[in-house]
Amino acid sequence: MKRTQSESLFQTAQKYIPGGVNSPVRAFKAVGGNPLFIAKAKGPRITDVDGNEFIDYVASWGPMIFGHAHPKIVEAVSRQAQLGTSFGAPTELETRLAQKVVDAVPSVESVRLVSSGTEATLSALRLARGFTGRDKIVKFEGCYHGHGDSLLVKAGSGVLSLGLPDCPGIVADLAKNTLNVPYNDTQAVEELFSRMGKEIACLIVEPIGGNMGVVPPQPGFLELLRKVTKASGTLLIFDEVITGFRVSYGGAQKLYGVTPDLTCLGKIIGGGLPVGAYGGKKEIMDHIAPVGAVYQAGTLSGNPLAVTAGIEMLNLLSQPGVYEDLEKKSEKLCNGFKENVKKAGVTAAFTRVGSMFSMFFTGQEIVSFDSVKTSDTDLFRRYFNAMLEEGIYIAPSQFEAGFMSAVHTDDDIDKTIEAQFCALKKALG
């Protein structure tokens, strides 16, 4: 595979941008080699600057659930661009997107639009602290909630892939208010809450772990979180930045029937443009300025281009049969992978909820950060590079989810399964 253009662009990028990338997960550090520079993408396919074409399962890390450059989204965004790209004043578009979110997501009665998932989670945290008058927060090891100071303690995603220890620059006095518990460990949660529940402002969780690879909640886990938080006056926050509009139109809370107090959204609701959101019960949300005293603002919040893309995306997703189709395709892909693994004689664990899935090179059952860390990352490195050679673009880390889109065809999936078998053989050497 020719990579000369990507290599050359990466050399220049490193001169002007730290590490040559604007988000560390894009670097190929965990898998060796340098990142591909992308020229364009259409539907389920992504093309690099050397003209190599790949079937894409990264989906821009989740948002592109209807594939790249969907004609409906492109058309709507182009139309809006002619009318102006930012006003710093309200538009009807924002209310339309907000209404769609409120209609879809069970816990959300009122929602504030921001520009990223990080902004959504750190604002929700501030709101929870302002609302309860408490400082402490609880999160789970291996969950990633963006790069806000309070949330970067024992985090997943790039922090995990790069094996970074605790992040310098985070004030120790702040970090000490972040309490970490192992994912799916109901006993640890109960013990923590019986000890200090009344001091805890909020518990934030990915209702399906998505940033240490996919780690589904065990039966009863989310229900227990709901129970203990309610009993101690702690707000339960579901970080649905990945799962929102991914695992069902109403997110993981709809799928599992557990309703949090606050919900964070991002990725899909921007239709590929920068949008985040946090919402919940009106009585809580009304503590945000200008109604309440908890301050949060944004020059480009509710940006008309981004919101237009989001509205079109939700229109596409609300068509009948979309999630059933995603389920069917994802199941087909993962079944193919499972057969390949068996044929190739590799030990691997599979996890999947709807159209988000992972394959870990481990024999352990996947329940937590500790179990995913038993994966053979050296084998993953060889597998990742072999997949690229075979024309399949997956996340450059063992600890990230794969994403199916609604525009992958059966033929794309068959090709992927075939390519994966070759990649596994190559990786085994």
Ligand X SMILES: *Cc1c(COP(=O)(O)O)cnc(C)c1O
Cα–Cα distance for residue pair 22/189, rounded to 1 Å: 35
Cα–Cα distance for residue pair 19/23, rounded to 1 Å: 9
Q: Choose, from 100, 139, 254, 267, the residue flagged as catalytic.
A: 267
Q: Could you say which of 48, 141, 206, 312 contacts ligand X (CB under 6 A)?
A: 206
Residue 428 CB partners (closer than 8 Å, separation 6+): 344, 345, 346, 379
400 interacts with ligand X by CB under 6 A: no
278 tagged catalytic = no
Cα–Cα distance for residue pair 211/231, rounded to 1 Å: 29
Q: Which is nearer to ligand X, 104 or 264 (CB)?
A: 264
3-state secondary structure of 37: coil
Q: Which is nearer to ligand X, 6 or 115 (CB)?
A: 115
185 tagged catalytic = no
Q: Which is nearer to ligand X, 213 or 276 (CB)?
A: 276
The strands making up 178-181's β-sheet, listed across from edge to edge, are 110-114, 276-280, 262-265, 235-239, 200-205, 136-140, 178-181
Cα–Cα distance for residue pair 59/253, rounded to 1 Å: 22
Element of type H or E holding 42 = strand 38-42
332 tagged catalytic = no
24 preceded by a cis bond (ω within 30 of 0): no
Scan residues 335-394 and list those touching ligand X (CB under 6 A). none
Q: Which is nearer to ligand X, 273 or 413 (CB)?
A: 273
Angle between helices 186-196 and 221-231 (to 10 degrees): 0
- Name the burial class of residue 76, with classes exposed (0-12), middle (13-18) and buried (19+) by CB atoms within 10 angstroms of its CB: buried
Closest approach, Cβ 120 to ligand X, in A, equals 7
Q: What are phi and psi of 26, to 5 degrees?
A: -80, -20
Q: Which is nearer to ligand X, 306 or 348 (CB)?
A: 306
Q: Could you say which of 118, 229, 248, 308 contacts ligand X (CB under 6 A)?
A: 118
Q: What are phi and psi of 419, to 5 degrees?
A: -65, -35
Q: Could you say which of 93, 242, 307, 314 contacts ligand X (CB under 6 A)?
A: 242
Q: Could you say which of 211, 229, 248, 351 contacts ligand X (CB under 6 A)?
A: 211
Site size toward ligand X (CB under 6 A) is 15
| Residues comprising the chain, all counted | 429
26 interacts with ligand X by CB under 6 A: no
Cα–Cα distance for residue pair 64/246, rounded to 1 Å: 10
141 interacts with ligand X by CB under 6 A: no
Question: Token digits for 29?
Answer: 């550090």
Q: Tell me, residue by residue from 254 to 273, as one string, x for binding to ligand X by CB under 6 A and - for no binding.
A: ------------x-------
Q: Choose, from 48, 100, 144, 412, the residue flagged as catalytic.
A: 144
Cα–Cα distance for residue pair 384/372, rounded to 1 Å: 17
Q: Which span (71-79, 234-242, 347-355, 368-376) binds ligand X, by CB under 6 A? A: 234-242
Q: Which is nearer to ligand X, 68 or 382 (CB)?
A: 68
Q: Which is nearer to ligand X, 197 or 396 (CB)?
A: 396
Cα–Cα distance for residue pair 209/86, rounded to 1 Å: 35
111 interacts with ligand X by CB under 6 A: no
Closest approach, Cβ 13 to ligand X, in A, equals 20
144 interacts with ligand X by CB under 6 A: yes
Closest approach, Cβ 209 to ligand X, in A, equals 9
Q: Which span (42-50, 117-125, 172-180, 251-259) binds ligand X, by CB under 6 A? A: 117-125
Closest approach, Cβ 301 to ligand X, in A, equals 13
Closest approach, Cβ 425 to ligand X, in A, equals 32
Q: Which is nearer to ligand X, 305 or 424 (CB)?
A: 305
3-state secondary structure of 300: coil
Give the strand pairing for 392-393 and 53-56.
parallel
Closest approach, Cβ 361 to ligand X, in A, equals 22
Q: Could you say which of 20, 43, 130, 146 contacts ligand X (CB under 6 A)?
A: 146
Residues forming contacts to ligand X in the complex (CB under 6 A) are: 116-118, 121, 144-146, 206, 210-211, 239, 241-242, 266, 276
Annotated catalytic sites, by residue?
Answer: 144, 239, 267
